[in-house]
Structure 1
Amino acid sequence: MATTVRLRRLAAELRQLRKIAELTREQVNEQTGINVATLYRIETARVRPQARTLTSLLDAYRVAEPKRSELRTLLKQAATRGWLHTIASDLPERYASYIEFESEAREVLNYECLFIPGLLQTERYARAAVTSTLPESSREDVESRVETRMRRQAALTKEQPLKLWAIVDEAAIRRVVGGREVMREQLDHLLEITELPNVHLQVIPFDAGGHPGMTGSFVVMHFGEAVGPDIVYIESHAGDIFLEEEADVARYNVASTHLRAGALSPKASASLVAAAAEAL
């Protein structure tokens, strides 16, 4: 089961309520009969509690209205997966979780050192990128990932659009993925999509020298206060990682600030992209 933002928030709320009630998991087990291991999984968002389990916990923690109704609603919402549920079975669990988080985010900062960010990719570029980075994938798996990537992009043009701040190393602009025609189309698309008021693109030029992003790509997702704390996402061949600890998120926010400061302005970045497209 992919973790949703609402399930993560529910887990955090239940952890906090147990601490306020000054109860250990063992004491909750004695009062409610809920297994300690199960309670741990609920509090770490690994499982979604049943309605009766939630009621037992709220009784044990002496939670009154309107908080009780708020958490019951949150539990119902945690089961809602939106469009993703139709293809989630074809995706790795942590990637499905990432998409759930992204769909609930208010703002995303995406730094990429070698690729155009997924939310800004054309279909042909995405297909070439997936095929080259996952050479053992079947055609069906590749198409599933490409379809998912294209559907994610609707977040940029919905009624309350996602705010995207994309920072890329010049290498991502210069690397010809999929051939010259595909790359030219991709760069032209970048110039078009970044005209949206909620999409900002900055390029770190080669002559900027070393910078904090040289250790690898990352995504910082910011949520509204009512949803939950920020998350950092890192994708690698060793596995996808979510960082939620305040110190970790703060470290990547600092790196993001340095990257924005060291990159070209959005206007100068557009000029670099246009020159790269012309060269193709």
Structure 2
Amino acid sequence: MDDMARKPLPTLRLRRLAAELRSLRSAASLSREAVEERTGITGTTLYRLETAKVRPQRRTLNSLLDLYNVTDAKAREDLHALSRKSGDPEWLQSYQSELTEQYMTYIAFEQEAREVRNFESLFVPGLLQTEAYATAVIAGVLPTATPEEVANRVRVRLQRQRLLEQQEPLRLWAVVDEAAFRRTVGGSAVMADQLRTLAERAALPHVSVQVIPFNAGAHPGMPGSFSVLSFADSADPDIVYTDSMSGDLFTDSPPAVRRHMLTFAHLQSVAVSPADSIQLLNRLVDELE
């Protein structure tokens, strides 16, 4: 059965469906080999379904639910609904040819997150960037990108920011090294506007920004930036995302999540308070102007 015609992003709903399929197979005391013998679904396909690598076709899902003796109509429809809704965010689909799979996966998870804890050492957090700053920083980081590619990436970044403007906004807690604000990206005017806008957004009730000043010395965030995404349903584990020159990395391993959460707590403790951070940002604006 061909479930791999198009590889979907591992969205939260797809992960939840995969977990349900693993649980149902375990409850039925069936190995993957036994499922293949009784349904014709290959072990490779079943593995990919159970690890959120692919989304099942309707007939495949029905075959599994029949085998696992899921007879309750509502339970079956709930699982089919998870499958139908597990696709990529619609607005993101038009950018698939330009964005890496890892970055698109991060955006898909971010769309479903309740809270993001983000530490940045060299950049203003993407969810808080102005259009001019985003344009300058993307062009600088990707020197071979065409103007059109830069513009498309900026549009994606601005679209992501709508999460902070919706009726139930994303909760964002950002801790940023002062170095990110001292680097004059795009020129003094662009940077001053970025810092002014950042101070305004940091005053929103669902946004917190803390700055780690230079005089704090060495701190546990110096090895690199990271984000921890948390979700409304406690059944959905937190996800850690790190971005580096070697590639992006996702993990929901409990030890890794605990380590990054502890690191974030340490960073909060060495940073100045949100109120003092806003004052620091305003002072930096004055210096630039």
Q: TM-score, normalised by structure 1?
A: 0.96
Which residue in 2 is equivalent to 1:272?
280
Distance 2:22 2:155 in 1: 37
Q: Is 1:58–2:65 an aligned residue pair? A: yes
> Counterpart of 1:3 in structure 2: which amino acid?
P
Once the two structures are TM-superposed, the CA of residue 139 in structure 1 deviates from its matched residue by 1.6
Which residue in 2 is equivalent to 1:223?
231
> Counterpart of 2:48 in structure 1: which amino acid?
R
Match of 1:130 among 138, 144, 164: 138
Match of 1:200 among 208, 216, 229: 208
CA contact (8 A) 2:88 2:108 kept: no
Spell out the pairing of 1:17-96 with structure 2 (5 A cutoff). 17-65=24-72, 66-79=74-87, 81-96=89-104
Distance 1:58 1:81 in 2: 27
Structure 1: where are the runs of 5+ without partners?
Answer: none
Q: TM-score, normalised by structure 2?
A: 0.93
Match of 1:7 among 9, 14, 19: 14
Structure 2: where are the runs of 5+ without partners?
Answer: 1-7
Which residue in 2 is equivalent to 1:158?
166
Root mean square deviation, CA, Å: 1.3
Which residue in 2 is equivalent to 1:191?
199
Displaced runs of 4 or more, over 4 A: none
Distance 1:206 1:245 in 2: 32
Q: Is 1:175–2:191 an aligned residue pair? A: no
Distance 2:67 2:89 in 1: 29
Partner of 2:245, secondary structure, is: coil
Distance 2:64 2:20 in 1: 11
Aligned residues: 280
Which residue in 1 is equivalent to 2:106?
98
Which residue in 1 is equivalent to 2:242?
234
Distance 2:180 2:158 in 1: 19
Identity %: 51
Distance 1:189 1:169 in 2: 17
> Counterpart of 1:259 in structure 2: which amino acid?
L
> Counterpart of 2:125 in structure 1: which amino acid?
P
